[in-house]
């Protein structure tokens, strides 16, 4: 029988030999990655930093140093990766009057959710999509897009990209438009909403219906939420809630990012549930508290208009509208479509 000292010596030598040959034993310790923490990013602070960046960061330029002027929301446990979640990135972009964010395309899928804008537009694949507050504009992967502010006021919107997921999958790629700062506008305004909306011609000739450029108006989403509230159609766990769907497939907006709009009625408190998938919320209007976790581990996220907050995957959460008279409206993005496609979506209700 070998003694413990002999075994330790042999084990140490084995570890050295394996390391030299890019091998490791399953029994050896590895670095644990930290859990993501629930968080709130207050709009006032984001907006001040964005305003300041508008003074010191010039948009455009040949070397692509600042092809976009965005302030990125970072989870405190992802500071090195500079990421909001391990899959999604939420940032806030500023385009000042007269500025253009140049045309490019990338394999990361992206969306824009307008916060302050009076007629600034994003051009996607030759179609100008006007951005009014609360409007959602999709730029699916590898679609040309640029942003033009021809108005007198600043334009501010949320950018959400699945870039961290794409990076994990080693599928990154990007290209600048070589024929100018912006792409030519080749389609009439409202084209995709008319072409792919409720009444449409045959879509079987479209290459990839899962990656449609599209825009959704907040005025429609809000009116639908209000109608549902009036009809008493609500979930115990999410309040009055709507998923933005791809108009052709009926599935999620895009294969990697799901988008939702919800209304918490005055004084409403939802029941707690948890599910796989990371969710980033943006408060369109109203104020409330979201409790994440349970018992002594619970964290209270207090939010108001335009604040953004994060609920980690598998975190228990419940929302409370703290106003007794006003509804709260929340937009959220999630990587749930990826989890569903991989049969990893799970939900548990309290
Ligand atoms: Fe982009």
Q: How far is the CA of 111 from the centre of ligand 1 (A)?
A: 9
Whether 272 contacts 228, CB under 8 Å: no
Give 199's contacts (C-beta < 8 A, 6+ positions apart).
none
Q: Is 26 part of a structural domain of the chain?
A: no
Q: Is 232 part of a structural domain of the chain?
A: yes
Helix (H, G, I), strand (E, B) or coil at 124: strand
Q: How far is the CA of 263 from the centre of ligand 1 (A)?
A: 30
Whether 95 contacts 69, CB under 8 Å: yes
User: The domain spanning residue 96 has which CATH number?
Assistant: 2.60.120.10
Q: How far is the CA of 350 from the centre of ligand 1 (A)?
A: 40
Rounded Cα distance between 308 and 10, Å, is: 54
Domain count along the chain:
1
Rounded Cα distance between 146 and 181, Å, is: 8
Q: Is 17 part of a structural domain of the chain?
A: no
Cα–Cα distance list, 196 to 104, 216, 242 (Å): 24, 12, 19
Cα–Cα distance list, 55 to 31, 59, 69, 96, 195 (Å): 41, 10, 11, 10, 41
Q: Is 161 part of a structural domain of the chain?
A: yes
pLDDT tens across the length of the chain (350 residues): 899 999 999 999 999 999 999 999 999 999 999 999 999 999 999 999 999 999 999 987 554 557 899 999 999 999 999 999 999 999 999 999 999 999 999 999 999 999 999 999 999 999 999 999 999 999 999 999 999 999 999 999 999 999 999 999 999 999 999 999 999 999 999 999 999 988 888 888 788 899 999 999 999 999 999 999 999 999 999 999 999 999 999 999 999 999 999 999 999 999 999 999 999 999 999 999 999 999 998 999 999 999 999 999 999 999 999 999 999 999 999 999 999 999 999 999 99
Give 189's contacts (C-beta < 8 A, 6+ positions apart).
127, 128, 130
Q: How far is the CA of 145 from the centre of ligand 1 (A)?
A: 7
Q: In what helix (H) or strand (E) does residue 83 lie, and over which residues does it extend? A: none
Q: How far is the CA of 43 from the centre of ligand 1 (A)?
A: 23
Q: How far is the CA of 107 from the centre of ligand 1 (A)?
A: 9
* Domain hosting residue 151, numbered range: 39-349
Q: Is 78 part of a structural domain of the chain?
A: yes
Q: Is 178 part of a structural domain of the chain?
A: yes
Q: Considering the entire predicted model, what is its pTM?
A: 0.95
């Amino acid at each position: 029988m070998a003694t413990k000292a002999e075994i330790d010596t042999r084990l140490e030598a084995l570890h050295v030999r394996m390391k030299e040959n890019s091998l490791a034993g399953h029994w050896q310790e590895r670095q644990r990655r930290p859990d993501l923490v629930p968080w709130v990013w207050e709009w006032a602070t984001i907006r001040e930093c964005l305003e300041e960046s508008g003074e010191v960061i010039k948009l455009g330029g040949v070397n692509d140093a600042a092809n976009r002027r965005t302030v990125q929301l970072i989870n405190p446990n992802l500071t090195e990766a500079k990421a909001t979640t391990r899959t999604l990135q939420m940032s806030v972009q500023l385009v000042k009057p007269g500025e253009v964010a140049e045309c490019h395309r990338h394999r990361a899928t992206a969306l824009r959710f307008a916060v302050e804008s009076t007629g600034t537009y994003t051009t996607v694949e030759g179609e100008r999509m006007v951005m009014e507050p609360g409007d959602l504009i999709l730029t699916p992967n590898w679609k040309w897009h640029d942003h033009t502010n021809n108005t007198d006021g600043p334009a501010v919107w949320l950018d959400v990209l699945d870039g961290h997921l794409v990076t994990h999958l080693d599928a990154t790629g990007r290209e600048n438009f070589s024929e100018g700062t912006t792409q030519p506008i080749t389609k009439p305004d409202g084209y995709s909403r008319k072409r792919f909306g409720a009444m449409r011609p045959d879509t079987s000739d479209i290459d990839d219906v899962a990656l449609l450029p599209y825009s959704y108006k907040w005025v429609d989403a809000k009116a639908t939420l209000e109608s549902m509230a009036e009809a008493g159609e609500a979930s115990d766990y999410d309040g009055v809630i709507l998923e933005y769907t791809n108009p052709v497939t009926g599935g999620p907006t895009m294969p990697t990012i799901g988008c939702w709009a919800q209304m918490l009625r005055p004084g409403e408190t939802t029941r707690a549930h948890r599910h796989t998938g990371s969710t980033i919320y943006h408060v369109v209007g109203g104020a409330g508290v979201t409790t994440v976790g349970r018992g002594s581990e619970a964290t209270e996220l207090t939010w108001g208009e335009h604040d953004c907050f994060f609920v980690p995957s598998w975190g228990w959460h419940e929302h409370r509208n703290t106003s007794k008279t006003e509804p709260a409206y929340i937009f959220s993005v999630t990587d749930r479509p990826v989890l569903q496609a991989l049969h990893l979506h799970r939900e548990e209700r309290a």
